[in-house]
Amino acid sequence: MSSETGPHENVSDENLPGAQDKSHGELARKDDPFADPGLPPHEHRIQDIDERAAKRSERAVAFLFTLSMLATVGFIASFVAFPIDKIIYVWPLGHVSALNLALGLTLGVALFCIGAGAVHWARTLMSDEEMVDERHPIAAEPAVREKVIADFKQGAKESAIGRRKLIRNTMFGAVALVPLSGVVLLRDLGPLPEDKLRHTAWKKGKLLVNENTNEPLRPEDIAVGSLTFARPEGLEHHDEDFQNEIAKAALMLVRLEPEDIKDKRELDWSHEGIVAFSKICTHVGCPVSLYEQQTHHVLCPCHQSTFDLADAGRVLFGPAGHPLPQLNISVNKDGYLEAQGDFEEPVGPAFWERG
């Protein structure tokens, strides 16, 4: 079989099976117990010999096609009949849209029945006699190969590309350079990073605005064991750059018993045990905020990085590489919480220039 379907090139025959394969061909010896007996004789289906069975199949196929037509009519009828906001209860699906259910099921039936009809037709009524197609090697005959190679050489020779090297080299140069224009055109896809990732909207004196009430927070709003989210004063939901700014400035506030705070700097930057940490995970930027108030741990829902808010936001578990940044806060003379400055390090995921 091997010689029929392709050349073997430099592989020693003893590694390749093949010797015994000859016996599988038509020339197989009669006494070979494993010889290929050839295609088994064709057997008839009931539909081939009994016209009544064939009629039954015909009716089944026609029934399926008719059902499909009816389902399409049903589809159009449901489209017209059901209001889009009609909700019905269907066990066990729940309270679902009548229109979606009706359209989907009628469309499903209409399509499925066409398919089922066609397949049933093919399986029961079309000839099921197996046919044999011979294969031909994919690779070309040696003569064809010779001709193609010769043609190519002739063409290459006539172009003189091998001889006139100046033309060839300058052409390669030109073709290699021209895509650069396209690369240059991509430049204005976005600005350069500069120090954009290093600053947030927090500044000294900015009040901490409660994300829920949009009012500035006071220390007494935050109890031990509670969780509060804040954004910098002046950043409003309708602002043009709200999404970009909140992506960096989102803040989470918890109050710990001051004696539970293990890190000195964290204690210095807290107010009466209230500590403010960035809500943006230092791994890839999900808002970490699964705060466990008894352990003071905060977990990220995306990749389970766990930080210890009682110990300077240290990483306890998971793929984050550095602690959550803390914001230095205190209270202003009116009794509101305010920032003492921006975060001292970039918030969110690490990057090459972070250092």
Candidate list 107, 311, 314, 336; residue touching other proteins; CB under 8 A: 107
Nearer to other proteins, 280 or 327 (CB): 280
Candidate list 62, 70, 73, 118; residue touching other proteins; CB under 8 A: 118
Nearer to other proteins, 108 or 162 (CB): 108
167 part of the interface to other proteins, by CB under 8 A: no
Q: Which stretch binds other proteins (CB under 8 A): 146-154, 257-265, 275-283, 331-339?
A: 275-283
Candidate list 93, 143, 176, 177; residue touching other proteins; CB under 8 A: 93
Binding mask 65-84 for other proteins (x = CB under 8 A): --------------x----x
Torsion-angle region of residue 335: left (phi > 0), alpha (psi -120 to 50) or beta?
left
Segment 320 to 349, residues that bind other proteins, using CB under 8 A: 320-322, 348-349
Closest CA to 274 of 292, 290, 258: 258
At residue 187, what is the residue type?
A: R
Segment 138 to 157, residues that bind other proteins, using CB under 8 A: 138
158 part of the interface to other proteins, by CB under 8 A: no
183 part of the interface to other proteins, by CB under 8 A: no
Candidate list 99, 256, 312, 347; residue touching other proteins; CB under 8 A: 99
Q: Which stretch binds other proteins (CB under 8 A): 4-12, 143-151, 166-174, 327-335?
A: 4-12
Binding-residue total with other proteins (CB under 8 A): 149
Nearer to other proteins, 155 or 301 (CB): 301
| Structure token digits, residue 179 | 């895509």
CA distance 121 to 127: 10
Q: Which stretch binds other proteins (CB under 8 A): 94-102, 164-172, 269-277, 336-344?
A: 94-102
Nearer to other proteins, 104 or 273 (CB): 104
63 CB neighbour count, 10 Å cutoff: 14
4 part of the interface to other proteins, by CB under 8 A: yes
- Beta strand pairing call for 314-317 and 326-327: unpaired
Distances (CA, A) of 155 to 36, 144, 146, 165, 175: 49, 16, 14, 16, 21
63 part of the interface to other proteins, by CB under 8 A: no
19 part of the interface to other proteins, by CB under 8 A: no
Q: Is 331 within 8 Å of 337 (Cβ atoms)?
A: yes
Nearest approach, Cβ of residue 341 and other proteins (Å) = 21
Distances (CA, A) of 118 to 58, 65, 126: 11, 9, 10
DSSP code per residue over 157-211: HHHTTTT-HHHHHHHHHHHHHTHHHHHHHGGGGS---TTGGG--S--TT-BEEET
Nearest approach, Cβ of residue 158 and other proteins (Å) = 28
DSSP character for 250?
-
235 part of the interface to other proteins, by CB under 8 A: no
Q: Is 201 within 8 Å of 248 (Cβ atoms)?
A: yes
Segment 281 to 320, residues that bind other proteins, using CB under 8 A: 283-287, 289-295, 297, 299, 301-306, 315, 317-320
Element (H, E) at 289: none
Element (H, E) at 97: strand 94-97
**CB contact set of 137 (below 8 Å; sequence gap of 6+):** 4, 5, 6
Nearer to other proteins, 168 or 286 (CB): 286
Nearest approach, Cβ of residue 169 and other proteins (Å) = 31
**CB contact set of 172 (below 8 Å; sequence gap of 6+):** none
44 part of the interface to other proteins, by CB under 8 A: yes
